[in-house]
Amino acid sequence: DADVTQTPRNRITKTGKRIMLECSQTKGHDRMYWYRQDPGLGLQLIYYSFDVKDINKGEISDGYSVSRQAQAKFSLSLESAIPNQTALYFCATMPSGGNEQFFGPGTRLTVL
């Protein structure tokens, strides 16, 4: 019954490979976010989207791209993965005019 789902939950890949992480939500929220968490640190914003046609870079967007396929779907791509992109990736949603973000379960990505 998760309202925000992420696939895959775990992924191991090799340097130079392209990889896509997917996020889906059933909350009906317009706003969606991708964050990255490095070990021992808080989360940092990669990209965010206020609706299907509105996509914005966050603090650490280099090396990443996103696609908002529908209100409910927001994908994060690593065009050519590198080892320092090994991290825990979170998707989050928030309603327009709202104030509280809700997070998915996370995707643990390892780049060898």
Partner 1 sequence: GIQVEQSPPDLILQEGANSTLRCNFSDSVNNLQWFHQNPWGQLINLFYIPSGTKQNGRLSATTVATERYSLLYISSSQTTDSGVYFCAVDPYGGSQGNLIFGKGTKLSVKP
Q: Figure out which of the listed residues 45, 52, 60, 72 binds partner 1, where binding follows CB under 8 A.
A: 45
105 in contact with partner 1 (CB under 8 A): yes
Quick one: 54 or 79, whose CB is closer to partner 1?
54
Ranges within 21-40 binding partner 1 (CB under 8 A): 31, 33, 35, 40
Residues near 33 by beta carbon (within 8 Å), at least 6 away in sequence: 45, 47, 48, 49, 58, 91, 92, 93, 94, 101
The answer to whether the beta carbons of residues 97 and 51 sit under 8 Å apart is no
The answer to whether the beta carbons of residues 102 and 3 sit under 8 Å apart is yes
89 in contact with partner 1 (CB under 8 A): no
The DSSP output letter for 26 is S
Q: Tell me the number of residues near partner 1 by CB under 8 A.
A: 24
Stretch binding partner 1 (CB under 8 A), from 13-21, 60-68, 77-85, 91-99: 91-99
The answer to whether the beta carbons of residues 25 and 5 sit under 8 Å apart is yes
Quick one: 43 or 81, whose CB is closer to partner 1?
43
8 in contact with partner 1 (CB under 8 A): no
Residue 31 token pair: 């706003």
